[in-house]
Chains A and B, each alone.
Chain A
Amino acid sequence: MRAIRVIPCLDVDGGRVVKGVNFVGLRDAGDPIELAQRYDAEGADELVFLDITASSDQRATTIDMVHAVASTVFIPFTVGGGIRSLTDARAMLRAGADKVSVNTAAFERPALISEIAAEFGSQCVVCAIDARRSGSGWEVYLHGGRTPTGADAVKWAVEATRLGAGEVLLTSMDRDGTRLGFDNELNRIVADSITVPLIASGGVGSLSHLVDGVVDGGVDAVLAASIFHFGEHSVAEAKQLMGEHGITVRPSPPPANR
Chain B
Amino acid sequence: MRRPSVAVIDYGIGNLHSAHKALLCVGADAVLTADPQVIASTDAVVLPGVGNFGACMEAIRSHNLEGPINRAIASGRPFLGICVGMQMLFESSDESPGAPGLGVFAGTVRWLPHSVKRPQMQWNRLAITRPDLVIGSDSSADQWMYFVHSLAAVPVESEIIAATVDYGGDVVAACRRENILATQFHPEKSSVAGLALLERWVLSVRGEQA
- Write the residues of chain A forming the contact surface with B, with a CB cutoff of 8 angstroms: 1-5, 40, 45, 67, 70-72, 74-76, 93-98, 120-123, 166-167, 195-197, 220, 250-251, 253, 257
Task: Report if B124 contacts A (CB, 8 A).
Answer: yes
Contact B118 A195 (CB under 8 A): yes
Contact A167 B192 (CB under 8 A): no
A164 to chain B, nearest CB (A): 12
Known: A1-B166, A75-B146. A40 touches B191 (CB 8 A): yes
Task: Report if B117 contacts A (CB, 8 A).
Answer: yes
Contact A1 B125 (CB under 8 A): yes
Contact B17 A96 (CB under 8 A): yes
**Which interface residue of B124, B125, B148, B165 has the most chain A CB atoms within 10 A?**
B148
- In the complex, residue of chain B having the shortest beta-carbon distance to the beta carbon of A117: B51
- Write the residues of chain B forming the contact surface with A, with a CB cutoff of 8 angstroms: 14-15, 17-18, 21-22, 25, 50-52, 116-119, 121-125, 142, 144, 146, 148, 165-167, 186, 188-192, 194-195
Contact A167 B15 (CB under 8 A): no
Contact A94 B22 (CB under 8 A): no
B175 to chain A, nearest CB (A): 20
Contact A74 B15 (CB under 8 A): no
B-chain residues with CB within 8 Å of residue A95 when the two chains form the complex:
17
A1 CA to B125 CA, complexed, in Å = 9
Contact A1 B165 (CB under 8 A): yes
Q: What are 8 A-B pairs at a CB distance below 8 A?
A: A70-B21, A74-B190, A75-B189, A121-B50, A123-B50, A251-B142, A253-B191, A253-B192
Q: Is the interface of B mostly helix, strand, loop or mixed?
A: mixed
B-chain residues with CB within 8 Å of residue A70 when the two chains form the complex:
15, 17-18, 21
Contact B22 A74 (CB under 8 A): yes
A71 CA to B21 CA, complexed, in Å = 6
- In the complex, residue of chain B having the shortest beta-carbon distance to the beta carbon of A92: B15
B-chain residues with CB within 8 Å of residue A257 when the two chains form the complex:
192
- In the complex, residue of chain B having the shortest beta-carbon distance to the beta carbon of A46: B146
Known: A3-B124, A250-B144, A251-B142. A123 touches B21 (CB 8 A): no
B63 to chain A, nearest CB (A): 17
What 11 additional pairs, Cβ within 8 angstroms, besides A1-B125, A123-B148, A196-B118?
A1-B167, A70-B17, A74-B189, A76-B146, A93-B15, A95-B17, A166-B121, A196-B121, A197-B119, A220-B117, A251-B142
B-chain residues with CB within 8 Å of residue A72 when the two chains form the complex:
21
Contact A123 B119 (CB under 8 A): yes
Known: A74-B195, A75-B189. A195 touches B117 (CB 8 A): yes
A104 CA to B194 CA, complexed, in Å = 35
Known: A2-B122, A3-B122. A196 touches B142 (CB 8 A): no
- In the complex, residue of chain A having the shortest beta-carbon distance to the beta carbon of B195: A74
A238 to chain B, nearest CB (A): 15
**Which interface residue of B52, B116, B121, B142 has the most chain A CB atoms within 10 A?**
B121
Contact B123 A2 (CB under 8 A): no
A-chain residues with CB within 8 Å of residue B51 when the two chains form the complex:
120-121, 123
B-chain residues with CB within 8 Å of residue A45 when the two chains form the complex:
122-123, 146
Contact A251 B144 (CB under 8 A): yes
Contact A76 B117 (CB under 8 A): no
B-chain residues with CB within 8 Å of residue A123 when the two chains form the complex:
50-51, 119, 121, 148
- In the complex, residue of chain A having the shortest beta-carbon distance to the beta carbon of B165: A1
